Amino acid sequence: MLVRNLFLCLPGPAFVAVVGHNGSGKTTLFRVLTGQLPYQGSVQLMGREVRGLRRAAAAGLLSYLPQRGSLDFAIAVRELVVMGRYRHHSLLSAYAPADYALADAALARVGMAHLALRNFTQLSGGEQQLVWLAQLSLQDAQVYLLDEPTQQLDVYYRRQVFSLVHDWATTQGKTVLCSTHDLDNLPELTGYLLNLSEPMPQLRPISAATVQEARRWLEQAPVLY
């Protein structure tokens, strides 16, 4: 068993920071929610049991940013980002100028417009992460699962990314679960904190006090079950 004692109901839309020691189960939780891992009990997404859900991404329910989203073929950044529009066009048709305009705007929002014509595989890890976020923003899903989206980013871009994905929840009505080890940027956000290192993890409203409490947990050695 990789995660246990998780009983919660998340009222969407909301921003949720999922924290916990290495190995506490953040990625595992996301893999359960994306239907990649079996589970005991009940896990529902927008009221539908996950194990019975087929093609949650194609239905616009879910969008997932894994921790390491690498590619082994050359593709221009703009072409990768425009693919976020896949639900809005048929399999064989080309993307329209309007789709590319949305891709360019998404790239501009993450500060990566200048890389639009570059080969994605030649970008730095942090640049690649920001390009993935641009693509995700075009997917227009109801729930976003972001596994450490700020992992490779510098201080400036970490703050930008938290602001961007928090905005998806507060102004676009999305539910965003964002796993992170970066507690410094959380106190200024609104939403919830879920600390998987606790024996009975609970959703707590984000505040200076709850972030500080989580920090105290994470500064201690993890309790191994």
Ligand X SMILES: Nc1ncnc2c1ncn2[C@@H]1O[C@H](COP(=O)(O)OP(=O)(O)OP(=O)(O)O)[C@@H](O)[C@H]1O
Q: Which residues bind ligand X (CB under 6 A)?
A: 2, 20, 22-28
Which residue, 4 or 89, is less far from ligand X as judged by CB? 4
Cα-Cα-Cα-Cα torsion 141, 148, 170, 104, nearest 10 degrees, comes to: -60
How far is the CA of 121 from the CAs of 10, 25, 70, 151, 203, in angstroms?
Answer: 36, 29, 8, 18, 38
Q: How far apart are CA 199 and CA 207, in angstroms?
A: 21
Which residue, 23 or 205, is less far from ligand X as judged by CB? 23
Q: Which strand ranges, in their side-by-side order, compose the sheet holding 192-195?
A: 62-65, 143-147, 175-179, 14-19, 192-195, 203-205
Which residue, 3 or 189, is less far from ligand X as judged by CB? 3
How far is the CA of 106 from the CAs of 36, 68, 110, 113, 152, in angstroms?
Answer: 28, 21, 7, 8, 20
Could you tell me the smallest distance in angstroms from the CB atom of residue 21 to ligand X? Answer: 7
Could you tell me the smallest distance in angstroms from the CB atom of residue 201 to ligand X? Answer: 12
Could you tell me the smallest distance in angstroms from the CB atom of residue 148 to ligand X? Answer: 6
Could you tell me the smallest distance in angstroms from the CB atom of residue 106 to ligand X? Answer: 26
Could you tell me the smallest distance in angstroms from the CB atom of residue 197 to ligand X? Answer: 9
Which residue, 28 or 119, is less far from ligand X as judged by CB? 28
Q: Are 64 and 58 in contact (CB under 8 A)?
A: no
Which residue, 25 or 84, is less far from ligand X as judged by CB? 25
Q: How many CB atoms lie within 10 A of CB 215?
A: 14
